[in-house]
Amino acid sequence: MGEDQSSSIYDEQRLVAEKIRSLFRTRNYYLREQGAVEFEVEEDKGNKEAFLKLLREIKPIGYLAVLRRSGDYLTLIAFRRPSIKPRGPRLNLILLLATLGTVTADGFFKASGYPGSLLLMIGLYAVGIMGIIGVHEMGHKLASAIHGVQSSPPYFIPGIPGALPTLGAVITSSEPPANRDSLFDLGISGPLAGLGVTLLVAVGGALTTAAVPLEELSRQAAAGKIQIVSNLDLFTEFLLSNLTPQRVGTGLILSPLIFASSLGFLITFLNLMPAWQLDGGHVARAVLSPRLHKVLTYASIVVLFVAGFQLMAILILILSMRSPEMRPLDDVSPISKSRKIMFICVWIIAALIYVFAIQGNPFFFR
C-alpha cells in the first residue's frame, strides 16, 4: 500500500471518527485495519436517530457502520463498504421472459375449458399472476428506496406449466437495513402489496366466472376439459355468491383468475410465516429476540407440515440450517410502538387468509 493511499485512509478514519464523536456519547475508540473505526458508545435514547444520521453522512464517502451491544456498553464500528460490481439487467430480463412464458402456457391449460375468449382469458391470467408477484416485489423495492437500501430489480423464477407456473421472485440487497424499523418495513411491504393485487384479481375471477347449463358441464367434465369440485374456500364462495349471476339449472366454470388469486393468497400466507428468511421472518426478527425468532421458525415448519405444505416446510428447514438471518446494522435500538401493533395485525392477517382462502381451497386440497 502506497504512502498516499495510507494517508488517505487515515484521513477518512479521522473524518469518520469526528462524525461519530459529534453524534454519540463515546468513550474509548480504536483505529482498525483497512480504515475501520471502533468506538465504545454509551446508552442514549437519541442513539437511534444519531445512527441514521451517521449513515447518511458516511455513506457518500464509502463507509457503513454497525451498532451492537457489548455487555454494559455499546460498540459502534464504522468500516469501508465493500465494493460490489453492479450486475446488468440481462439476467433479470431473461428470467422475466421465461416466467412470462411459463405463466402464459399455464394460462392456456387453465383456460382451455373456459367458454369465453381464450386469448383474452390467457392474457388476463398472465397479467393477474405476474401482477401479484411483480407488485409484491415492487413493495419491497419501494420500502428499500424509502429506507435508503440499494436493491436489485426482481429476479422472477419460472415454474412448470400445468402444475405451478412460477416459483415467485426475489430481490437482493447490497447492504443490510439500517435498523429494526427498516427491517420490519422491508419484510411486510411485499406481502401487503401483493395481497392488495390478489384481492383485485379475486374479484376479477368472480366477475369472469361463467354460468353454463348443467348438461354442458357434464359434457366438458366427461371430455376431461374441466374438473368438478364439490367445495370451495369460504372467500371464493362469498365472491361467487355476490358477484357471479347464476340461474337454476346452471353450474359454474371457474375463471382461471380464481386460481391466480388462490396462488396469490398462498404466496402471501407462506411469506407471512415468521420463519428465518421469509418476509414474515424478517418482520419477526425485527420485533423479537433472536432466540424467540428461532423458536418461531421451527414452529412455522411444524404448522406448515400439519397444514399440508410439507415441501415448503422441508425447504424452510433446510434454509434455516444454511442461511444466516438478516440482521440490521443497528441491532440495539428498539422498534417503534406502531410496528409492534402492526406485528400483531400480521398474525391476524395470516390467520384470516388461511381460514378464508387457503383452508378448503380445491386447488391445494382435493
pLDDT tens figures, 3-57: 555 667 888 899 999 999 999 999 888 888 888 999 999 999 999 999 999 999 9
**Contact call for residues 196 and 135 (beta carbons, < 8 A):** yes
Q: Given CA atoms 97, 99, 102, 108 in this order, what sign does their dihedral have?
A: negative
Question: What pLDDT score does 233 carry?
Answer: 95
Phi-psi region of 26 (alpha: psi -120 to 50; beta: other; left: phi over 0): beta
Residue 325 has pLDDT above 80, yes or no: no
Question: What pLDDT score does 31 carry?
Answer: 86
Last residue of a domain, one of 80, 101, 116: 80
Q: How confident is the model at residue 276 (pLDDT cuts 50, 70, 90)?
A: confident
Whether residue 185 is found in the same domain as residue 151: yes
pTM tops 0.95: no
Domain presence at residue 1: no
Residue 266 makes CB contacts below 8 A (sequence gap 6+) with: 358, 361, 364
Whether residue 76 is found in the same domain as residue 223: no
Residue 365 has pLDDT above 90, yes or no: no
Whether residue 267 is found in the same domain as residue 313: yes
Last residue of a domain, one of 50, 80, 110: 80
Q: Which of 250, 249, 124, 143 is nearest to 191 (CA)?
A: 143
Instruction: Taking residues 105-109, report their average pLDDT.
Output: 96
Residue 295 makes CB contacts below 8 A (sequence gap 6+) with: none
Q: Which of 30-39, 154-163, 175-184, 258-267 has the lowest mean pLDDT?
A: 30-39
Question: What pLDDT score does 7 carry?
Answer: 67
Question: What pLDDT score does 3 carry?
Answer: 52
Instruction: Taking residues 241-253, report their average pLDDT.
Output: 90
Whether residue 119 is found in the same domain as residue 211: yes
Domain presence at residue 85: no
- Write out the E strands in 95-253: 155-160, 164-170, 210-213, 250-253
Whether residue 215 is found in the same domain as residue 123: yes
Share of the chain above pLDDT 90, in %: 75
Q: Which residue has the cell 405444505?
A: 309
Question: What pLDDT score does 5 carry?
Answer: 59
Q: Which of 31-35, 270-274, 358-362 has the lowest mean pLDDT?
A: 31-35
CATH of the domain at 61: 3.90.1070
How many C-alpha atoms does 68 have within 13 Å on its Cβ side? Answer: 7
Question: What pLDDT score does 321 carry?
Answer: 81
Residue 74 has pLDDT above 70, yes or no: yes
Domain that holds residue 292: 90-358
Q: What is the dihedral of CA 201, 207, 211, 216, to 10 degrees?
A: -40
Q: Which residue has the cell 454509551?
A: 42
Whether residue 121 is found in the same domain as residue 172: yes
Residue 348 has pLDDT above 70, yes or no: yes
Whether residue 204 is found in the same domain as residue 348: yes
Domain count across the chain: 2
Last residue of a domain, one of 80, 100, 119: 80
Question: What are the cell numbers at 266?
Answer: 398462498
Domain presence at residue 31: yes
Question: What are the cell numbers at 61?
Answer: 464517502
Q: Which of 280, 256, 283 is nearest to 363 (CA)?
A: 256
State how far the Cα of 33 lies from the Cα of 261, in Å rounded to an integer: 53
Instruction: Taking residues 179-195, report their average pLDDT.
Output: 97
Domain presence at residue 366: no
Question: What are the cell numbers at 43?
Answer: 446508552
Q: Which of 11, 2, 4, 5 is nearest to 37 (CA)?
A: 11
Whether residue 109 is found in the same domain as residue 59: no
Question: What pLDDT score does 6 carry?
Answer: 62
How many C-alpha atoms does 113 have within 13 Å on its Cβ side? Answer: 21
